[in-house]
Amino acid sequence: MKARKITPLITFGVMSMVFFLVSGWVSAAQDGKPSPNHAWKDGAEIYAKICAYCHDVQVGPPIRNRELSPDYIRHMVRNGNRAMPAFRPSEIDDESLAKLAEFISHRSTQP
């Protein structure tokens, strides 16, 4: 019976594929969440993943296209203000914060 001999092979193949898919999915899920020393791609990514959570839904005031100064934005992010949370360098490092402040302070036509 040929089929009996191939069955374990197929089982093994399917199992390793499932393992491959699951491990890929798990690492993709980890990539998506900010962790200490997470390297942010650019200001737009930080805005979309952190700030938009409040500032695009009227929990916080709109901050884009208002030409707020990068210094003011950096100060707010590091120190917070009432309902505005402060972010530590382990969450947004200085370099990323500079990019974020640039991104927010520049007038853009993007929605």
Q: Which residues are identified as catalytic?
A: 83-84
In contact, 13 and 20? CB cutoff 8 Å: no
Q: How far is the CB of 3 from ligand HEC (least distance, A)?
A: 58
Q: How far is CA 53 from the centre of its chain?
A: 11
**Residue listed under structure tokens 């093994």:** 12
Among 87, 96, 99, 105, binds ligand HEC (CB under 6 A): 87
- Give the torsion sign (CA, 106, 87, 61, 34): positive
Q: Please tell me the distance from the alpha carbon of residue 44 to that of residue 46, in angstroms, as a whole number.
A: 6
Q: Which stretch binds ligand HEC (CB under 6 A): 1-9, 18-26, 34-42, 80-88?
A: 80-88
Q: Which stretch binds ligand HEC (CB under 6 A): 10-18, 23-31, 34-42, 78-86?
A: 78-86
**Residues forming the site for ligand HEC (CB under 6 A):** 46, 50-51, 53-55, 59-61, 63, 68, 73, 76-77, 81-85, 87, 100, 104
